A = this chain, B = another copy of it.
Amino acid sequence: MTPRQTRLIQSLADTLPDRAIVTDRTDIAPWETDWRQRWHGTAPILFAPDSVAQVQAIVAAAGRERVPLVPQGGNTSMVGGATPPADGTAAILSLRRLNRIRSIDADAGLAIVEAGVILADLHAAAAAVGRRFPLTLGSRGSATIGGLVSTNAGGTQVLRWGTMRGLVAGVEAVLADGSLYDGLAALKKDNRGYDPNQLLIGAEGTLGIVTAATLRLAPAIASRAVGWIGLASPDDALRLLRRFQAAGDLVESFELLPAESLAAVLAHVPGARAPLAGEHRWHVLVEAVISDPDAPSPAQFIERVLVQAIAENMVEDATIAVNEAQAEAFWRIRDSISDAERATGPAAQHDISVPVEAMPRFLIEAAAACEARFPGTRASGFGHLGDGNVHFHVRAPRGADRATWLAEEAPVVTRFVDDLVVAAGGSISAEHGIGQMKLAELERLSPPPRMAMLRAIKQALDPHGIFNPGKLVALAPGAVAE
């Protein structure tokens, strides 16, 4: 423990209950490493406050003693965003005990939720009042609201409901001097200058500690239909999506899969079956929902659009799940891709976006460019076509040694892919954020005016650099290790 850290604990001993200051190595250890065991840090202190006032006291004292704080929720970052630095100079600030749902108003469609509430618990609370929170992702059993706000999380319903930015109606956060910013009021219109909420959403805990958020709830689903579609190209898939959207506002998910992703699932996931009998180069999973039980059924809606699309040769074949079990089976294929592809061998994975209209071409051309540049690799993207966001994987040549390839080849592949993304006007982080993993690439690829803005904002709101050091934006240019 550094002298600064010792002084920090001493200065808080009278203010905080004992259980809010954890220094036992065994208790801290699980939180020093990310869930995928890729990032390892050291923190001699873990703060576990259970009130906003305690968070304020911790931040104020940390600011005085210049001890950096690494905010942490469910520790499910994909980019090392919640792992402390290795040098042991920081403290972890866990928000998990700040876990009350302060209010939930079905009529207004709003809930005020503290940072430590787990996403699945919010789903349950919303369902209990006949509503739903329309954002979900694989880590819903451990991801917390504070982390979801701070990473502007996405998922499979973004097409219809947007990312967290679209679902957050208000933010409460502790600022660098320990003061409390209260932006919780759910105002649909508010033109009192720069909106601090918009800055805090997606800031990865580098500008303030999000302690609560006001979230929008959607009507509960009365009925859903899930279809599986075989088609020849991503271009046809995008045209099909536009047809669905022109016909109504019912489509919540529209996930694109190449044949090789489906093949990987069929090969590695027990019990998985191909939804269609024939072979297709590309596949789409579509889900349509209705909230009004009296509205025409979403299955009829999907069918109506598909019949016309088949007649126009936009679609090769299609089926609609006949029951919930089959619908779940379709979704299980989509949700198993990452695991199945991992089982097929090592890959360089990229969470990227380009403008939606550019994605079909990007998928074809970037895959071809990768395979040409790195002989023996196989490249393809799958995911949220309607958001212009795919997970673009470049698999190692057959027989490559996993550890060697990931350590030596994958970073080169990643820089190549990132260059293609930038050339297409896209983003090297569509939904996972920057964290530690993409910091060097952000520095390398951001135009200087943009990077200067990010640095100026960070410097302005966290002048002593106490919030989540080494994540998202490095204050001094060149301080980032490759």
Chain A residues engaging chain B, CB cutoff 8 angstroms: 105, 107-108, 110, 151-152, 154, 158, 163, 175, 179-183, 185-196, 198-199, 202-204, 207, 219, 242, 246-249, 291-292, 295, 353-357, 384, 386-389, 425-434, 442, 446-450, 452-454, 456-461, 472-473
Contact = CB atoms under 8 A, between A and B. Distances in A.
Contact of A191 (B357, B434, B452): B434
A434 to B, nearest CB: 6
B202 A453 contact: no
Nearest to A186: B355
26 contacts: A108-B355, A110-B355, A152-B191, A154-B191, A158-B189, A179-B449, A181-B447, A181-B450, A182-B450, A185-B355, A187-B354, A187-B425, A189-B388, A190-B430, A191-B430, A192-B428, A192-B434, A193-B442, A194-B199, A194-B202, A196-B450, A199-B457, A246-B292, A248-B292, A248-B295, A457-B457
A304 to B, nearest CB: 10
A459 B461 CA distance: 11
Given A181-B450, A292-B247, A292-B248, A193 B473 contact: yes
A431 B189 contact: yes
A185 B292 contact: no
Contact of A202 (B152, B188, B193, B384): B193
A426 B185 contact: yes
A352 to B, nearest CB: 9
B188 A353 contact: yes
A429 to B, nearest CB: 5
Contact of A457 (B175, B433, B460): B460
